[in-house]
Homo-oligomer: A and B are copies of this chain.
């Protein structure tokens, strides 16, 4: 790869349709060799403008490359990703963002595949992203398994992206939020964010989606008890999966139990009553109903203003949480603080120093070096 200069035909940055690959065109004015060169460059090291134009044309290969930049921890990748996102920003936001959580074994993959296929058939473009709190430890990923969602992955109106496989949960948070924006700019109008019911990930996903759904199964007592605190209160719908065969009546019983508890909880979304439903992802039953619920949720919250209000608050809260994260990063990675913190922590636990004095001393070291 030698020539990184933009060819002359790229000067007109406003008319992008004429030279973006993947769009069939008989009037693009390309010679065979210039097109080949362009494709090669695009494949190996696309420029910011290449990224932007191709993503706006819905190019999934370039979208993947952009998300790889978003997920990269290298500073120059980070900067490039931010430039791209800055350009894409006016084209984002036009989707329904759906969060789906559930314990392992609840059938999330099967559900998302059925659900995604239904939406694609109805003319929607569906992107599936994941936040996997376990991946930062194991390096694995809930969407990493290639055998999952086999049909959906081949559908040209679907885009599936595994969870970022490294970084803190805060980092994964940023990466997923920015990937949502990229997918929206690429024309995906239904974004599904999948997560496992572990740790803080539900709260994080709830903070980036419009509609949050808990997928669960029967065996209520155990399931409910093992569930992370407060998760039911984040949900706009609880869907009891595997309501098929012998399990059907049990699932119905579980649904009723959930409704009983939901009655006592605060609703997750103003003006929307969270209820429990059943479905069978395996047999495709109840999937249409879930989409109907989401459609009705959209209508209801758009009309009341709750939808726009939540998006606004989410943007604000994200900004504040990023600020806190950056501040903490700067503090905890400070060389003196790193050295002193374990010592002070031990003293605090042993009751040899008050917390306030320990913190005072640590800040003295922190600000001394900063100045």
Contact = CB atoms under 8 A, between A and B. Distances in A.
Q: How many copies of the chain does the oligomer comprise?
A: 2
B360 A82 contact: yes
A316 B228 CA distance: 22
A181 B348 CA distance: 13
Given A233-B230, A348-B316, A371-B371, A266 B225 contact: yes
A105 to B, nearest CB: 19
B331 A327 contact: yes
Interface in A47-102: 82, 85-86, 89-90, 92-93
Interface residues of A, number: 55
Given A93-B351, A315-B348, A319-B345, 20 more contacts: A82-B360, A89-B351, A89-B353, A92-B351, A174-B356, A177-B355, A181-B354, A227-B266, A229-B266, A230-B230, A261-B261, A261-B264, A315-B355, A316-B345, A316-B348, A316-B349, A319-B348, A322-B355, A327-B327, A327-B331
A178 B354 CA distance: 9
Contacts of A315: 348-349, 351, 355
A324 interface: yes
Contacts of A323: 328, 331, 359, 362-363
A122 interface: no
Given A89-B353, A354-B181, A224 B348 contact: no
Among A178, A323, A362, the most chain B Cβ lie within 10 Å of the Cβ of A323
Interface string A333-371: 000000000001100110111111111101100010011
